[in-house]
Amino acid sequence: MKTDHIIKAFVGTWSLTNTTYWKLDNLTEPSNVRFQRGLIVYTPNGYVSANFASSNSSERPTNLVAGALDNGTDAEWALIGKHALAYIGPFTINTSVPATVKKGKILHGPLVAANLPSLEGTVLGREYLIYERDGSQWLNLSFANAAGTTRGDVLWKRVAY
């Protein structure tokens, strides 16, 4: 299956608007939301860069300075690392399932680099839904954890092409 036309639908920058993680044994009770802000960028040549961070001030010490590793405590730096996620790598459309410009499954990876080393080399599969609402384009990425106990829905709004 040719997927170039589908890949073009992803190209651009998308801003995180909502994340919801559901415990599948109780669909009415979402678990804690980890990331409140982020950007995901898809390039025309098939690469993705995803960056997530907390906006909770208790998880973001403001006294730390980038490049100055001798400031702050290890605990403060660890707190930021615990509440951030970033990765880069190629992306493709999963052709083993039906896929259209609006609905299908996207694969991020194998990931080239990630701030969480265990993600490097992995492929993250996401069901996608692209739609328009109120004059904006939206991207919903959904996934389940490996154990099948949690489902995540991440909603993105296109901010640039």
pLDDT tens track for 108-154: 999 999 999 999 999 999 999 999 999 999 999 999 887 888 888 99
Q: Is the dihedral of CA 114, 115, 119, 125 positive or negative?
A: negative
What is the C-alpha separation between 22 and 5, in angstroms, rounded? 32
Provide the H-helix boundaries in 11-154: 74-82
**Higher confidence at residue 15 or residue 61?**
15
CATH of 4-160, one of 2.60.40, 3.90.660, 2.40.128, 3.40.1000: 2.40.128
R_g of the chain computed on alpha carbons: 17
pTM of the predicted model as reported, rounded to 2 decimal places: 0.89
Query: Residue 86 has what pLDDT?
Result: 97
Rounded to the nearest 5°, which phi and psi values hold at 4?
-55, -40
Q: How much is the pLDDT for 69?
A: 66
Let me know: does 149 contact 159? Beta carbons within 8 Å. Answer: no
pLDDT at res. 38: 95
Measured CA to CA, the distance from residue 125 to residue 158 in angstroms comes to 20
pLDDT tens column, 58-113:
888 888 887 766 788 889 988 888 889 999 999 999 999 999 999 999 999 999 99
* Sequence ranges of the domains in the chain: 4-160
SS3 (DSSP) at 116: coil
| Length of the chain, in residues | 161
